[in-house]
Chain A
Amino acid sequence: MLNLSQLQPGESAHIHAIHAEESLFHRLNAMGFRIGKKIELVRQASFGGPVHVRLGSTDIILRLTEASRIQIARA
């Protein structure tokens, strides 16, 4: 199973599971990370920086550590 940090820029997938402790889980949820939702990786910052993802009409940036907590299934 893939996680979000393994997605390449321009690729999209569906969210399969979110592995995060409660407070982070709530935050991700409110920002639009929900099971089954389509997610696109727009770009990644250089030097191993954060990734820029798109969920519907919301754009979010998050670090690879957080991205690796989100399991995805390729569309």
Chain B
Amino acid sequence: MKRIALLGMPNTGKSTLFNRLSGASARVGNWPGITVDLMSAKILIGGHIAELVDLPGLYDLHGFSDDEQVVRHFLANNSVDLVMIVLNSSQIDRQLSLALQIRALGLPALLLLNMQDEAKRSGISIDIDEMSRQLGLPVASISAKYGDGCPQALQLAARHLEHQRAPISASEISSKLEADTQLEQQMEHIVKQSVQMPLQLTDRLTERIDRVLLHPWLGLPLFFGAMYLLFQFIFTVGAPLQEGVAWLLDLIRSDILEPLTASLPAWLHGLLLDGIYDGVGTVAAFVPIIVLFFLVMTMVEDSGYMSRAAFLMDALMARVGLDGRSFVMVLMGFGCNVPALMGTRVMRSRGMRLLTMMVIPLSLCSARLQVFVFMSAILFTTEQAPLVVFSMYLMSFVTIFLTALIFKGKMRSSEPFILEMPPYRFPTAKQIVLRGWLEVRHFLNRASKFIIFGVVMVWALTNFPSGVPAASEATYAGQIGQFFLPILEPIGIDAKLAIALIFGFVAKEIVVGALAVIYGLQGEALELLMAQQLDWVQGVSFMLFTLIYTPCLSTIATMRSESKSVGYTVLALGWSLLLAWVVSFIFYQSARALGY
């Protein structure tokens, strides 16, 4: 099978093109360094099936950061039949250097001038034929986002898929790239011959928006204000949706499932309805909130605001040994910690990477958000609930700063901070829907893997040994809870919550599912009972503990594989457990001492 690789500088639209050509759903975002790993898909080209590979972006083939190593490693270990070089037409005057480097390596290549829509708007005109002649490579102008020129580019690729090139070793890459200064002159010459750029080249809209959003003293307040508004939006729209789904699931249970399963043996009925249905159902009710959350996240990621956030926050982050990019990774961690951890591959110094990876698990991911929405709805009024959840976000920042401050001495770095600031862009409806769907799929995937397993385990532990009252102290769950009570009692967490926390170790989604199973109820009845058994001080202490104590199993596994160090992973885990306990202890005991 023929192999085609997409290669180009960061943020030039490689993944967008990959998705368009293959129908796959690689993650896209207006931030240099979204893709940090290989992704491949099969496409039909010129009547044959070929493998299309999306690569992380790279600035040049000298490659020093971990994501750039991925590309070098790929080129060194795979034969490639065609390299599709993707570049941003508006920045052709500097990005052409990569195309010249690829050509110097003798790789069969095709040059795609992407984002022709933006280039056209800013008055750049490129003579494609002249450029192709000068370069000695086929060239096409496309817009991966809107699809213009893509079918033609594919045809062009089909025609140049003939000759194969063997893998190219790292040392070969280094030796062939020596004459860099010459490339620079060539680049200038080619650009002069084939590109016409207006003298004043600025995106007026971006410029105007930036004047407000990057204002010296309005910038940061605007950032936090916008964060609060987005959160309010998710909460106000999402919470009723969640209640609606919960209500519907309750109805299905009482009117359809109960009669259907009435004849089953009691234990099986219990396992199916009280265990799996209640557990998974309680979690599934959060799907609308999660989808909404990621729709908002997609728009923020694709707007280009992330680079602005890095600009605004860098000075503060520098005080705790991190940089603006670390901050953006933390923001991405609000969605899911796993891709955020992988995103640190763009950092070159190990100290900076490790310190950033140390704080990412403390960022309040969407799975933890479910727990907080659930708990705050039970323990607080509708006016208070969003404030309580938002204060968890603030708490997340506080623990991140604290952690970085404590560990910065151990994980030092002199990492330079240089970052591209792309123009503002807006995702198309299709891009937004695709991302929403991706998250639903991700959720269903996790649900089938962890959540069902988790709730079945919890059900078994709260119902066995047989003969004792369900969820009582005599059950296995009760015994485990009692065992941990000496350390959890001082922070106001009872045996039932303890079981939920233990399973929350696997995945935070299980926590709400586990609570439904432990209390043996679902929907409104569950909320009423919990409100009776817990007071708000206990609830908040539980939330704080859930926020900090440990990321999920996938996050831990990712930390381990990205850091390539077991010791580091254990340190990070131990630290977060300790911090969680101390924070909850301080909160719980002071609240009680104040008489709440």
Residues of A that sit less than 8 Å from B by CB: 22-24, 26-32, 34, 43-50, 52, 54-63, 65-66
Contacts and interface: CB of A to CB of B under 8 A. Distances in A.
A55 B201 CA distance: 10
Interface residues of B, number: 41
A45 B210 CA distance: 12
A75 B420 CA distance: 24
B356 to A, nearest CB: 16
Question: 10 nearest interchain CB pairs?
Answer: A49-B315, A30-B59, A47-B315, A59-B421, A32-B94, A62-B418, A63-B417, A23-B64, A57-B201, A57-B90
Nearest to B97: A30
Given A23-B62, A26-B60, A49 B312 contact: yes
A63 B9 contact: no
Given A57-B93, A61-B307, A61-B324, A45 B421 contact: no
A29 B180 CA distance: 11
A54 B200 CA distance: 11
Contacts of B93: 32, 56-57
Contacts of B64: 23
B418 A60 contact: yes
Contact of A66 (B98, B418, B423): B418
Contacts of B220: 46
10 contacts: A27-B59, A31-B94, A32-B94, A45-B214, A46-B217, A47-B316, A58-B420, A61-B307, A63-B318, A63-B418
Interface in B284-313: 307, 310-312
B423 to A, nearest CB: 8
B314 interface: yes
Given A50-B324, A58-B94, A61-B421, A45 B416 contact: no
Contacts of B417: 50, 61-63, 66
B312 A45 contact: yes
Contacts of A66: 416-418
B122 interface: yes
A30 B357 CA distance: 27
Main secondary structure, interface of A, reads: mixed
Nearest to A46: B216
B490 to A, nearest CB: 39
A46 B219 CA distance: 9
A21 to B, nearest CB: 10
B221 to A, nearest CB: 11
B584 to A, nearest CB: 32
A44 B217 CA distance: 11
B91 interface: yes
A31 B311 contact: no
A47 to B, nearest CB: 4
Interface string B218-236: 0110000000000000000
A12 B91 CA distance: 19
Given A28-B418, A31-B420, A57-B122, A48 B315 contact: yes
B314 A52 contact: no
B416 A63 contact: yes
A55 B378 CA distance: 54
Nearest to B202: A54
Contacts of B421: 52, 59-61
Contacts of A31: 59, 94, 418, 420
Contact of B91 (A24, A44, A58, A61): A58
Contacts of B98: 30
B311 A52 contact: yes
A30 B315 contact: no
Contacts of A55: 94
Given A31-B94, A34-B184, 18 more contacts: A23-B62, A23-B348, A26-B60, A28-B418, A29-B60, A31-B420, A32-B94, A52-B421, A54-B202, A56-B201, A57-B91, A57-B197, A57-B201, A58-B91, A60-B420, A61-B310, A63-B314, A66-B416
A32 B98 CA distance: 12
A65 B314 contact: no
Contacts of B201: 56-57
B133 to A, nearest CB: 24
B260 interface: no
Contacts of B323: 63
Given A26-B62, A45-B312, A52 B214 contact: yes
A49 B184 contact: no
A60 B419 contact: yes
Interface string B415-444: 011111111000000000000000000000
A65 B416 contact: yes
Contacts of A43: 214, 216
Contacts of B307: 61
Contacts of B419: 60-62
